[in-house]
A and B are shown apart, each in its own frame.
Chain A
Amino acid sequence: MKLSFMAPVITFAGIAGVMFYALFYLDPKEIPSELLDKKSPVFALEAVPGYGENLSSENLKEGKITLLNVFASWCVACLAEHPTLMELSRQGKIDIYGLNYKDTPDAAAKWLRRNGSPYARTGMDLKGRVGIDFGVYGVPETFIMGPDGTILDKIIGPITEKDLKNRILPRIDGGEG
């Protein structure tokens, strides 16, 4: 009798609990990538004039872990992760490739001149088709590519300190050891 009286309260508490969790711990903007553990789509792109060599899917399977960073000069959030990428490239532990998404060559070159380039290679995806092949739906996104060109992980949005520590660095150190 007492229990059935409590039933609505318990039900409500249950729903509230789920919603509370969803509100603070789930991000609806983070859609898990369909391409994890799959091979990189095939592509070949020209470099941003003056910034590194051309970028193709062949460069992603040269036997070492690489980062494929999707960036654009019109992307404000890219500035937030830029120092992190610059620092990574300064340490020289990992090659970072830049996929310049739906930009113009001039604007991209200007942006790299002003902010510095962490990229060993760059590729201009002027129409965004390579981005779509990679399942990119916002900039920045960063793919961690395995030695054989497999997509190991995908970071959506700017790389945070936490992403760097938990998702990127362990891969690099693991790859070396």
Chain B
Amino acid sequence: MTLNFGQASRRLMYVLCLLGTIGFVGFASAVFVEERLDDPVKEERVRDIAEGIRCLVCQNQSILDSNAGLARDLRAIVRERILAGDTDDQVQNYLVSRYGDWVLLNPPFKMRTLVLWLSPMLVLLFGGFLVVRFLRRKSAAPTENSVSRPLTDAEKKTFDQLMAEDDGERGRS
């Protein structure tokens, strides 16, 4: 009886956890939309743009998935500009001229961001260079030392002696 009850409650817990997880994920991906444009193509453009605009209050969220007041205002502006017939670039420029490149979640490629864009490439090249050098040195090292010169007579004698001893021991056992 108690066992059955335990099993049932465990199953219930499992289901609740699952539901909770699904609910949470659903909530996390919710898009804050207070109004949408009638034209679905334009609305799609609005969301594409909004997804690339940083919310200045909650820094690493886009204005599309932030519920901050400023994000809501900026979304309204994006809708308004699109309705007014602006191109995507014009809408972005409108926001950049007020808040700077910082509002773009993808930093543009220009002189000031050269280091930002190129440093991963440089680090990769430098790392590759180090790896190649390391591997070369490793494979070159044994040949240098071992086959550099033949054994001297004294060394050969010692070697033969050791080999003979080894054979003798092995034969005995």
Contact = CB atoms under 8 A, between A and B. Distances in A.
Contacts of B69: 102, 128
Chain A interface mostly: loop
Contacts of A14: none
Interface stretch (A25-33, A46-54, A109-117): A25-33
Nearest to B68: A137
Contacts of A32: 100, 102
A28 B96 CA distance: 18
B70 interface: yes
B149 interface: no
Contact of B100 (A34, A128, A132): A34
A33 B100 contact: yes
B109 to A, nearest CB: 18
Interface string B76-118: 0100000000000000000011111010000000000000000
Contacts of A102: 69
A6 B89 CA distance: 49
B73 A132 contact: yes
Contact of B102 (A31, A127, A133, A138): A31
A34 B102 CA distance: 9
B98 A31 contact: no
B74 to A, nearest CB: 7
A170 interface: no
Given A128-B73, A132-B74, A34 B99 contact: yes
A172 B77 CA distance: 36
What 10 A-B pairs have minimum CB-CB distances, sorted nearest first?
A34-B100, A137-B56, A135-B98, A135-B99, A31-B102, A128-B73, A137-B70, A34-B99, A132-B98, A132-B73
6 contacts: A33-B100, A102-B69, A132-B73, A132-B98, A135-B99, A137-B70
Interface of A: 28-29, 31-35, 102, 127-129, 132-135, 137-138
